Each structure stands twice: as structure tokens, then as C-alpha cells.
């Protein structure tokens, strides 16, 4: 569900605690509100014949910039917050695909976890079995990482870089940038 393109009863939105106030700019709010609705007793209904408009700014973010989290984007930080609050042990699969994000700060989520406990929200396992039961057949869970990190030259400042190629594609040497992404190698055996 698009985080800014939905209709909800105002009272229910407030009952759900609105959006996580720690989310920055955009990214992740769509997942956060969806999990919160499903796991805390609501349901999402899609109305295929509805008409919705979305006004999107063409220029960059206008206003006060968010705090800087080294090596991350606000969207990645938002995803980490959502995963930490709603995914339970399934968060290991997120971190297997983005291991560099495990060390990133994501702020205090104790109030969000307390909300989940106080409202007897269901587990992510329940969500995967009852709501998203077919997702694993289309997107199998990845294997756990045995090791992960950069492969860098001993006497150079170059790292192996996938240059954005998919699994099975070729790699190249590129200047090490220490930002993860294309230069993170996963060994899963």
C-alpha cells in the first residue's frame, strides 16, 4: 500500500498511533502502516475502480534536512525501524540481504514496541502465514550469510564491485567507497 495514498477512518488512524514519528522524509511508511493495520486487528481493502491523484514535488526536499546517519539514507533507516518493530525474528532475513545496515543507528523504538505489546498485535509469523501466505513461493527466503563484507586489494584502494549487475553477472574493480551496496559480497554456502 502506498503510504500517502489511502483512506482510513480518522479515529482508527489515531488509535493506531498515526505514523511512526521517527520515520524521516519518505520510505518505509507504507510498510509500517500496513503491518500495523494487519497485525493490530484491522484489514486493508483494495478498491480497483477508485481514482486517486498523487502530487509529487519535482525538486528536492524543502525544509529542514533530517539528521545525518553515516553510511545510510533516511529510507534505509526507516526500513530498519519498521523491521525492528514489526518483523520479529524475520528481521534476520532483512539483515542477511543488507548486512551493513545491522550496525546503523535507527533511533529509539521502545514506544513503538510498547504500543505493539499493549494492543496485543499479532506476530509477523502470523502475518506471513495468514495474510502474505503466498509470498514465500514467489520470493523464497534467502540463505543466511556465513560471511559478508568488502573484498579489497591489499596494496590498493580498490574493491570488487558488482557495478549493479545481478547475481551471476560479472564484477569489476572500483575505488573502495565503504558505503556497502555494490561492494558488499555475501558468502552463503
Residues 21 and 79 in one domain: yes
Contact by Cβ (8 Å): 158, 174 = yes
CA distances from 155 to 62, 92, 178 (A): 43, 34, 16
Residue 26 gets the label, from left (phi > 0), alpha (psi -120 to 50) or beta, of: beta
Structural domains counted in the chain: 2
Spatial CB neighbours of 127, under 8 Å, sequence gap ≥ 6: 35, 38, 39
Residue bearing cell 513461493? 137
Residue 63 pLDDT = 56
Distance between CA 78 and CA 81 in Å, rounded? 5
Calculate the CA dihedral of residues 149, 154, 156, 157 and round it to 10 degrees: 30
Evaluate whether residue 178 is within a structural domain: yes
User: What pLDDT score does 97 carry?
Assistant: 80
Q: Supply the pLDDT for residue 82.
A: 97
CATH of the domain at 94: 1.10.8.460
Model confidence pLDDT, tens digit, residues 13-40: 999 999 999 998 878 899 999 999 999 9
Shared domain check, 88 and 49? yes
**What pTM did the predictor assign?**
0.70
Domain that holds residue 171: 147-187
pLDDT at site 70: 41
Here the cell at position 173 is 574493480
Structural domain includes residue 61? yes
Q: In terms of domains, do 67 and 153 share one?
A: no
* Whether 65 and 133 share a structural domain: yes
pLDDT averaged per 10 residues in sequence order, the chain, 189 residues? 76 92 88 95 84 63 50 81 96 84 90 97 96 85 75 87 78 83 79
Instruction: Answer whether residue 92 is part of any domain.
Output: yes
Q: Which of 34, 40, 101 is closest to 72 using CA atoms?
A: 101
Amino acid at each position: 500500500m502506498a503510504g500517502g495514498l489511502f483512506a482510513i477512518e480518522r479515529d482508527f488512524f489515531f488509535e493506531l498511533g498515526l505514523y511512526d514519528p521517527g520515520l524521516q522524509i519518505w520510505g518505509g511508511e507504507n510498510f509500517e502502516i500496513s503491518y500495523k493495520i494487519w497485525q493490530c486487528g484491522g484489514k486493508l481493502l483494495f478498491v480497483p475502480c477508485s481514482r486517486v491523484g498523487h502530487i509529487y514535488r519535482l525538486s528536492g526536499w524543502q525544509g529542514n534536512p533530517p539528521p545525518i546517519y553515516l553510511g545510510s539514507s533516511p529510507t534505509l533507516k526507516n526500513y530498519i525501524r519498521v523491521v525492528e518493530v514489526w518483523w520479529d525474528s524475520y528481521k534476520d532475513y532483512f539483515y542477511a540481504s543488507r548486512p551493513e545496515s545491522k550496525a546503523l543507528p535507527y533511533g529509539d523504538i521502545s514506544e513503538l514496541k510498547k504500543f505493539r505489546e499493549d494492543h496485543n498485535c499479532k506476530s509477523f509469523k502470523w502475518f506471513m502465514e495468514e495474510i502474505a501466505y503466498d509470498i514465500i513461493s514467489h520470493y523464497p527466503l534467502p540463505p543466511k550469510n556465513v560471511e559478508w563484507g568488502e573484498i579489497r586489494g591489499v596494496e590498493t584502494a580498490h574493491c570488487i564491485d558488482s557495478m549493479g549487475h545481478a547475481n551471476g553477472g560479472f564484477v569489476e574493480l572500483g575505488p573502495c567507497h565503504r558505503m556497502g551496496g555494490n561492494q558488499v559480497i555475501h558468502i552463503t554456502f
